[in-house]
Structure 1
Amino acid sequence: MKKFSTLLAVSAASLALSACGTADDASTEATADTVEMPANEALEGVSEEPVADDAANAADDAAAEDATEAQAATAEAAGEAAADVAARAAAAADAVGDAADSAAKAADAAGDAVDAVTN
């Protein structure tokens, strides 16, 4: 019975404590009024409009052009290297074909020699 009364007291205390909380729901989505209010307050003293500065992008344009030229040079070098590899692969394939032809001729000659010995 003592355990039951202790459990009852703890339950009553937890219910009383939860009743003291607020009804704010953390899952409530933020609305534009509450989110933009601090931003609008920060900009209240600003009366000037933003101005485009053409010189600000000049350095970026030059850097972009240099990067484009470097990329083109890298692409050309990669293309030349690929062509070199393709040429080497073709030469290796020709060498393998020649070796296969030589091996076929040697096998024919060996077969002829075996036929000559057995007949």
Structure 2
Amino acid sequence: MKIIHTLAVAAGVAALAACNQSPQEQQADNIEANAEATADNLEEAADNATTEATEDSLENQADATREAGEETADSVRDGADADGNSVN
């Protein structure tokens, strides 16, 4: 029961923290999360690949996807900072 209560409190705190984010920051976070999920799927496919070359290719795609997601998110954040629309 304590674990459920702790998780509920943690979820509430996380929700409140999200309220203080600008729309651009939320968009950047979503971009990163989507890129991370896609990269995780590519790595899972790499683990199930039948050849070494396919595995290497999928792992390289996962790395590139993560990097592109981070760069795009950083660009969104930088744009928010330049516009003066960031929380910080």
TM bracket, shorter-chain basis: 0.3 to 0.5
Which structure shows the bigger proportion of residues in helix conformation? 2
TM-score, normalised to structure 1, is: 0.29
